[in-house]
Amino acid sequence: MSTRVLDPSRQHIVLRVAAALLGGYAFAWGFIALGTSALFAAGMPFHDAEFLSSMLGILAYLAVFLWVFAVPGLRRAGAVLVGAGAAMAGLASLLQHTLV
Amino acid sequence: MFANFRLAMAWLHTWFGLVLGFVLMVVFFFGALSVFDREIDRWGIPASRFEPQPMPSFDKVLKPVFESMQPTQESIDRMRPRVDGPMPERYDTVRRWGAYTTHRDPVLGVFAGYEVPNAKDPDEAIFASRTIDPRTGAALPDDRLKIGSRFFYPLHYSLNFHWLDLGYWIVGLAALVMLAALVSGVVMHRKIFREFFTFRPRKSTQRSALDLHNLTGVVALPFHFFFAFTGLVIFAGLYFPVTHTQLHPLHELHEQHEEQETGLPQDRAGVPAPLASVDAMVAEAQRRWASRGMAGEVGFLALQHVGDANGYVSIYRAGTDRIALTGEGIHFKASTGEVLHEDPPPTAVASVAEFLTGLHLQHFRHWLLRWLYVLGGLAGCVCIATGLVFFVEKRKRQHAKQGSSGARVADAMAVTTVTGMLVATLGMLIANRLLPENLPNRGDWEQYCFWGAWLLAMAHAFWRTAPVAEGRLAPAWREQCWAVAAMAVAAVLLNWLTTGDHLLRTLAAGYWPVAGVDLFMLVSAALAAYAARRLGRRVRGAADARAMVAEAARA
């Protein structure tokens, strides 16, 4: 096999798949972390909060995964997912800090 | 990247479906077999062909078994890198003893977890496990592999590929892609309702493969979505270990609260204490269940901090008549037998959790539903396989013109994962009946036979798909169908020859675990032979057509 440089469209596909999988994962992680800590803070039993957030987080992952393939701007989509995921995870840690 | 949403979804469906379709095929097929994992165990271990047993007496049977257990050399070696300093000679500080059984288990699996001194993660335990005959406490040979519940079942969710847990992650990705494929498949096809009733077997392979793909996808759509989704939910803690990493402090806080509320100690007190009669505790638990109007058997029995003043015994009711695996836990102080805590009725969220996981793992007693699960799983296999066939049929003529081998490689992989997987499965069952009874590491040899048969099938698939590169049908499909038919009949015959349990005897005795596996293989053999004959007719038909065209050209 030759070490041919990826043509733009192929490179674009690789980037989009990476954005969907990794960006989606970061988003889902943040979603689950924030959901667990917020529901727990609101008085829900810990494992209930953990289960409910994980279940909804998986559905959220599916939704953003499909969304990345449907939007035109790839860079923006990736930034939104990673940014929102990091923001939610940060909030979760902040909430945890006030609780523990 | 795409002109519109529909095209984006079509691209996603095609390419993710192709790449992960091979994994999904394995997950669906072995998931379907796992519905009857314990029955396959009985077929593979003739010594365990007797009726299911209730949880035996702890004081008389289980206690001596637990006391004689120690981790195997293998698990000690696996643990070694995660410990500072040397490993101890014996493991005496028991963190947990446990036994789990269902209404389908003649033999009982028990496990013991021990504290490991100087472990890098002090919470990590080292485990030992054993399978016993609950009537006597006698151990089954360690190297007898439970093919159903210890090989096919873990293959379903981990591909038995444990390096870095990579198998779990690949299956998780495949489940996500399954969900995405279902959504994108619905978006691609506007006439969903009509596809419910459309199957044109006499049209071209490409057309009828697509019909069958749509039919099996749409008919079982809720089934496919439910299982892919709940599979991800069951392993959510592995895919998103949020509460064991980022939110670990919050988890710790919760455990302290829980300890205060339930009175169940998290840690040992460091003060030795005797063990009261566990049988008396079981009797008390059963009395309390009966008084709630839900008399039942013990499904899960666990002893925490054995030999310590903080030790307690947890007894859970078997979920034979409900969706939850086990429930109604009652916890006793190990040294006195007094009740420490009764689990409160599940919250709304916990009920949803029990429903989703229980319905996926289905340990309840409902044979009709079990068979519907198998049919649903096999419908999923048909959906994936026809998707792969459609991919090849749509492209093979064009690829043949361009001299590309894409369609041929895809077809060879499809043969490998559809018929090749059946060859591997049957190869393992045949090896199970043919290998010498006292062969050391017999279970390992059975696994080598499984992977070896699959590799052979793969080599054959790549060899005998050459005609696809010329736009024709691959003979590999037909030949492997014949192999499947022959091997399935051979497995049934070998079961008869080596154990004497032929169908007349197992059916007359009503011993369905073995009769069912035999009947299932015979039906598979008939279907495979039928498919092989039909494929043969199609090849001859195509050859006749080519001859006629050549004739007409000469005339």
Per-residue pLDDT of B518-544, as tens digits, reads 999 999 999 999 999 999 988 787 778
The pLDDT score that the predictor gives to residue B288 is 97
Cβ contact, residue pair A100, B249, below 8 Å: yes
Per-residue pLDDT of B142-183, as tens digits, reads 778 999 999 999 999 999 999 999 999 999 999 999 999 999
Nearest CA distance, B241 vs chain A (angstrom): 9
A56 in contact with B at a CB cutoff of 8 Å? no
- The average pLDDT across B253-273 equals 93
What is the model's pTM?
A: 0.93
Q: H or E segment at B304?
A: strand B298-304
pLDDT-derived band at A8, boundaries 50, 70, 90: low
Q: H or E segment at B110?
A: strand B108-115
- The residue of A9, A12, A62, A76 whose CB has the most chain B CBs within 10 angstroms, and thus the best one to mutate to test that interface, is A62
Residues in chain A with CB shorter than 8 Å from the CB of B233 are: 51, 54-55, 58
- The average pLDDT across B354-382 equals 94
Residues in chain B with CB shorter than 8 Å from the CB of A61 are: 176
**Residue B191 confidence (pLDDT) above 80:** no
Cβ-based interface (< 8 Å): residues of B facing A: 1-2, 5, 8-9, 11-12, 173, 176, 179-180, 183-184, 229, 232-233, 236-237, 240, 242-243, 246-247, 249-254, 257-258, 347, 349-350, 352-353, 356
B308: which DSSP letter?
Answer: B
Q: Using CA atoms, how far apart are residues B263 and B311, in angstroms rounded to an integer?
A: 11
Cβ contact, residue pair B9, A13, below 8 Å: no
With CA atoms as reference, the chain A residue closest to B240 would be: A29
In the chain, the amino acid numbered B446 is E
Cβ contact, residue pair A13, B1, below 8 Å: yes
Residues in chain B with CB shorter than 8 Å from the CB of A18 are: none
Q: H or E segment at A34?
A: helix A24-41
The pLDDT score that the predictor gives to residue B4 is 82
Residues in chain B with CB shorter than 8 Å from the CB of A12 are: 1
Cβ contact, residue pair B176, A48, below 8 Å: no
| SS3 call for B318 | strand
The pLDDT score that the predictor gives to residue B331 is 97
A67 domain residue, yes or no: yes
The pLDDT score that the predictor gives to residue A1 is 34
Number of domains present in the structure of chain A: 1
Among B189-198, B213-222, B232-241, name the most confident range: B232-241
Residues in chain A with CB shorter than 8 Å from the CB of B345 are: none
Per the CB < 8 A criterion, the answer to whether B442 and B419 are in contact is no
Q: Do the strands B298-304 and B94-100 form a parallel or antiparallel pair, or are they unpaired?
A: antiparallel
The pLDDT score that the predictor gives to residue A6 is 43
pLDDT-derived band at A2, boundaries 50, 70, 90: very low
The vertex-B191 CA angle with B187 and B192, nearest 5°, equals 70
- Give the CA diameter of chain A: 59
The token duo for B228 is 């892919």
The pLDDT mean for chain A works out to 91
**Residue B230 confidence (pLDDT) above 90:** yes
Burial class of A88 by CB neighbour count within 10 A (0 to 12, 13 to 18, 19+):
buried
Q: Which of A12, A32, A70 is the closest to B5 by Cβ?
A: A70
Higher pLDDT, A9 or B462: B462
- The residue of B240, B245, B254, B405 whose CB has the most chain A CBs within 10 angstroms, and thus the best one to mutate to test that interface, is B240
Cβ contact, residue pair A62, B350, below 8 Å: no
Half-sphere exposure (CA, 13 Å, Cβ side) for B278?
27
Per the CB < 8 A criterion, the answer to whether B380 and B251 are in contact is no
> Residue A51's domain spans which residues?
21-99
Q: Which of B176, B250, B252 is the closest to A61 by Cβ?
A: B176
A31 domain residue, yes or no: yes
Per-residue pLDDT of B415-439, as tens digits, reads 999 999 999 999 999 999 999 999 9
Q: Do the strands B94-100 and B312-318 form a parallel or antiparallel pair, or are they unpaired?
A: unpaired
**Residue B341 confidence (pLDDT) above 60:** yes
- The average pLDDT across A55-80 equals 95
Lowest mean pLDDT among A23-32, B395-404, B526-535: B395-404
**Closest among B362, B323, B349, B327 to A51, alpha carbons compared:** B349
- The residue of A7, A46, A75 whose CB has the most chain B CBs within 10 angstroms, and thus the best one to mutate to test that interface, is A46
Residue pointed to by tokens 């803070």:
A41
Cβ contact, residue pair B356, A55, below 8 Å: yes
**Residue B70 confidence (pLDDT) above 80:** yes
A8 domain residue, yes or no: no
Other C-beta atoms closer than 10 Å to the C-beta of B348 total: 9
- The average pLDDT across B362-380 equals 94
Other C-beta atoms closer than 10 Å to the C-beta of A94 total: 12
A10 domain residue, yes or no: no
Q: Show contacts of B42-46: CB within 8 Å, 24+ apart.
A: B42/B106, B42/B513, B42/B514, B42/B517, B43/B147, B43/B148, B43/B429, B43/B495, B43/B513, B43/B514, B43/B517, B43/B518, B44/B145, B44/B146, B44/B147, B44/B148, B44/B429, B44/B432, B45/B140, B45/B144, B45/B146, B46/B498, B46/B499, B46/B501
Higher pLDDT, A27 or B326: A27
With CA atoms as reference, the chain A residue closest to B184 would be: A66
Q: Using CA atoms, how far apart are residues B50 and B46, in angstroms rounded to an integer?
A: 9
Share of chain B above pLDDT 70, in %: 98
A76 in contact with B at a CB cutoff of 8 Å? no
SS (H, E, C) B148-164: HHHHHHHHHHHCCCCHH
Per-residue pLDDT of A45-59, as tens digits, reads 999 999 999 999 999
- The average pLDDT across A6-31 equals 89
| SS3 call for A7 | coil
